[in-house]
Amino acid sequence: MGQLRWLLVMMVMGFSGCGDDSAVPQGAARGDTMPGGTGQEGGAGGNGESNAGNSGSDVGQGGEGGSGGEGGPATGGTGQGGGVTGAVACSQCFPLEELPANLQKKAEGMLLEALDTEALFTLVGGLKPMSTGFLSLEFPAEGTEPASVEEARRILATFHCSTALSADLQIFHSVLDGKKSAEGVIFRRPRFDDVVKEYPVFQEIGVGVWEKPLQVVDAVDKDPTTKRFRAYGYLFGYPNHAVDFFVQAAEEEEKTGQFVPRDFFQIPTFAKLTGGYTYAVPKGYQPASIDLDLRNKAADILASYQKRRIQFIGKDKAGPVALLRTWFDNGTGQCSPDHASIETNSGTYQLPSSCWTGLKSCNPLSNEGCDGAEGWACDLSEEGFQCFEPPNSQKLGDKCNNQKGPYCEGGNHCDGNTCAAFCCTKEDCQGDEECDPLGQEGSLGICRKLGSCKPPGGFCTKDEDCCSQDCHVDHCH
């Protein structure tokens, strides 16, 4: 098990949570049941910020928090995260064409992975001074570095745009089971520099004058104390209260040997609703304005990205480089991330709170946020609503199966074994159908006729209420 993957396990036990880095799968992940909340045991995921354990990368989950969201407005076209930086000719913004042909495809996949995960909030808007989670390597600690390390460095050397964005490969100092680990890191300047200058912990660690952000990250990684957690938290863009809690919890656990219970505040990405941009908070914590403001800013960035993703990502489409160059172009062929327009409240997937208060990155009623033309569908997962990859071809009233397919097209959910329409109110339904709520997060539900059986996860009081004839406590199995 690699160092970072080991960290994920350790975070579930003590710091944060774990999960995988993949895009949302079909089948069992699809929401047959009512949403399971926003934070599993660790409330984190494969490419959430770690700041814990041996390496403290963006991978593992944001146990600590940092200064995310305080700086770097996530709305408007300029001035994100610490000031406007110079622009370059758009051909020199993510110039993947400079790579050999055999590396270009890998680089494009890596860049798309960054956009689909929490690195989006570093690339656009500057909410996060740095992000990882889109590239992980491990290799024997003894001997020469493998070719994959140099290949990764070559690819990351093209991940730049003006002086605002750069990327590098961080090789962690710790060795686990005879292996070293490395992570790709994307940096947002001057946001990154502002954070390092603002917080005394970096001087306490020994960070002095630096030219490359990697010099700072390497110094933080070497620190054996909880200062390392605090510094990583700030760099990964967590609010100060989350950083303080995580550091205090780590210090208390070190003294007492007892794990400090916690919850997690989740900010959705395209790839998954939880486990990416996520940080630990005290058990029972109620989100404050700073948390909600950060999530709202991220939602605007995500909605703006999703609209562009539909246009640029898919078969025979231009791809992630063209997406970013078009987004960063000020209209004169000059590119900078500071030019990126982020439409405030642009997420038409943002349902009224009376309909849905849970996590979402798309609108299940209209399929907004998903590329319906390519077969993507907004549907219920265990964590909320998000886009599921094709095929999703079954229409209203068609047969379906949420475990193995076929799956319903956007706007519908597999209700038992039949595609039924999502709804917020009875007015969204036809004839004598009612809008039967899915859970406690609002009125969002499925159009059903009165007296019809409930699918797995539906509310029930007796076995006869369920299509499966199995009512467990208050929900159908």
**CA–CA separation, 477 vs 475, rounded Å?**
7
Instruction: Determine how many CB atoms are found less than 10 A away from the CB of residue 380.
Output: 27
Query: What average pLDDT does the segment 76-101 reach?
Result: 76
Q: For the segment 459-469, what is each residue's pLDDT rounded down to a tens digit?
A: 676 776 777 77
Q: pLDDT per residue over 308-345, tens digit each?
A: 999 999 989 999 999 999 999 999 999 999 999 998 87
pLDDT at 230: 98
Query: Residue 347 — pLDDT band, cuts 50, 70, 90?
Result: low
Rounded to an integer, what distance in angstroms lies between the CA atom of residue 268 and that of residue 51?
19
pLDDT of residue 77: 35
Quick one: pLDDT band at residue 113, thresholds 50, 70, 90?
A: very high
Q: Which residue has the higher pLDDT, 10 or 455?
A: 455
pLDDT tens figures, 21-48: 334 434 335 654 333 333 322 233 333 3
H or E stretch covering 198: helix 191-198
Return the amino acid letter for 257. G
* 463 Cβ neighbours under 8 A, 6+ residues apart: 469, 470, 471
- At 408-441, the pLDDT tens digits run 999 999 988 899 999 999 999 998 899 989 888 8
pLDDT at 265: 97
Specify the pLDDT at position 467: 73
Mean pLDDT of 428-455: 85
| Residue 130 near residue 236 (C-beta atoms within 8 A) | yes
Give the separation between CA 19 and CA 136, rounded to whole angstroms.
15
Chain segment 182-229, per-residue pLDDT in tens: 999 999 999 999 999 999 999 999 998 899 999 999 999 999 999 999
Amino acid letter at 61?
Q
Task: Provide the residue type at 283 as one letter.
Answer: K
Neighbours of 398 (CB within 10 A): 15
The rounded distance, in Å, linking the Cα atoms of 409 and 379 is 9
In angstroms, rounded to a whole number, what is the distance separating the alpha carbons of residues 135 and 336?
23
Measured CA distances, 353 to 268, 278, 345, 379, 424 (Å): 17, 22, 14, 18, 10
DSSP state of 96: G
Ranges 198-207, 231-240, 448-457: which has the least confidence: 448-457
Average pLDDT value for the chain: 82
Q: Using DSSP, state whether 476 is helix, strand or coil.
A: strand
Buried b (16+ CB within 10 A) or exposed e, 263-278: bbbbbbbbbbbbbbbb
Q: Which of 117, 184, 174 is CA-nearest to residue 148?
A: 184
For 137-189, write each residue's pLDDT tens digit. 999 999 999 999 999 999 999 999 999 999 999 999 999 999 999 999 999 99
